[in-house]
């Protein structure tokens, strides 16, 4: 089902990087990149989300027939490997493509609260998306940007802890000597 305008070498690199990595970073028309777990199935990255117990897709602006940018990392080094454009396809729960994608996703879903009835819950409460490669690599081996790619942290209500009390290191050192 993948678009034929993707060069064969690019498609092979996209497929291998998506198959070997547990996460991809997805950026929709809205919001920053978000790390999402996925499976590679039938020529596309498949995602499930937006349900109460699933990963959030809201805020990315991923809509049927829309676009997204997908970033995959290298399995061995963990660094950026490829960035590619994708076409978003939302699968309907009453179709065979949805059932096939859900069968793959359910097998990879860790710690599901309802492993036996997960497909029914996903049909009722979640969205299943396919991100199909839609063109040549935007970044890849030999064509990476030179500058830093670090992004500013997102705003949050979380705070850092207070400084450790001055006497704590001395207490911990004394405790270590007694048990050692």
The H or E element containing residue 144 is none
Q: What mean pLDDT is predicted for residues 74-88?
A: 88
Say which CATH number the domain at 17 has.
2.30.110.10
Tell me, yes or no, whether 30 lies in a domain: yes
Length of the chain (residues): 180
Tell me, yes or no, whether 108 lies in a domain: yes
Residue 33 has pLDDT above 80, yes or no: yes
pLDDT at 137: 94
Q: For residues 27 and 67, what is the distance between their CA atoms, to the nearest angstrom?
A: 9
Tell me, yes or no, whether 175 lies in a domain: no
Tell me, yes or no, whether 161 lies in a domain: no
pLDDT at 178: 60
Of 83-87, 136-140, 164-168, 171-175, highest mean pLDDT: 83-87
Three-state DSSP state, 69: strand
Tell me, yes or no, whether 92 lies in a domain: yes
% of the chain beyond a pLDDT of 90: 59
% of the chain beyond a pLDDT of 70: 94
| Tally of CA atoms within 13 A in the half-sphere of 8 that contains its CB | 0
Nearest to 57 by CA among 29, 88, 86, 36: 36
Q: What are the pLDDT digits (tens) for 35-47?
A: 999 999 999 999 9
Tell me, yes or no, whether 84 lies in a domain: yes
- Beta-bridge partners for 140: 143
pLDDT at 2: 46
Band (149; pLDDT cuts 50, 70, 90): confident
Q: What are the pLDDT digits (tens) for 50-70?
A: 988 899 998 899 999 999 999
Tell me, yes or no, whether 34 lies in a domain: yes
Tell me, yes or no, whether 32 lies in a domain: yes
CA 111 to chain centre: 17
Q: What mean pLDDT is predicted for residues 125-146?
A: 92
Three-state DSSP state, 153: coil
pTM of the model: 0.81
82-86, 89-93, 159-163 — which is least confidently predicted? 159-163
* Cα-based distances in Å from 147 to 32, 41, 144, 150, 151: 19, 33, 9, 9, 12
Give the number of domains in the chain.
1
pLDDT at 179: 56
Q: Which domain holds residue 53?
A: 8-145
């Amino acid at each position: 089902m993948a678009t034929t305008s993707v060069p064969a070498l690019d498609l092979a690199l996209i497929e291998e990087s998506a198959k070997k990595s547990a996460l991809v970073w997805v950026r929709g028309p809205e919001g920053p990149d978000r790390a999402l777990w996925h499976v590679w199935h039938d020529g596309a990255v498949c995602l499930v989300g937006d349900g109460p117990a699933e990963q959030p897709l809201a805020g990315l602006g991923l809509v049927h027939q829309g676009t997204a940018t997908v970033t995959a990392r290298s399995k061995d080094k963990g660094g950026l490997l490829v960035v590619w454009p994708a076409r978003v396809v939302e699968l309907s729960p009453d179709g065979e493509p949805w059932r096939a994608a859900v069968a793959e996703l359910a097998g990879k879903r860790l710690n599901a609260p309802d492993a036996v009835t997960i497909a029914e819950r996903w049909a009722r409460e979640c969205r299943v998306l396919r991100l199909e490669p839609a063109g040549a690599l935007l970044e890849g081996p030999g064509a990476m940007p030179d500058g830093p790619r670090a992004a500013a942290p997102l705003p949050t209500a979380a705070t850092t802890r207070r400084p450790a009390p001055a006497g704590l290191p001395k207490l911990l050192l004394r405790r270590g000597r007694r048990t050692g």
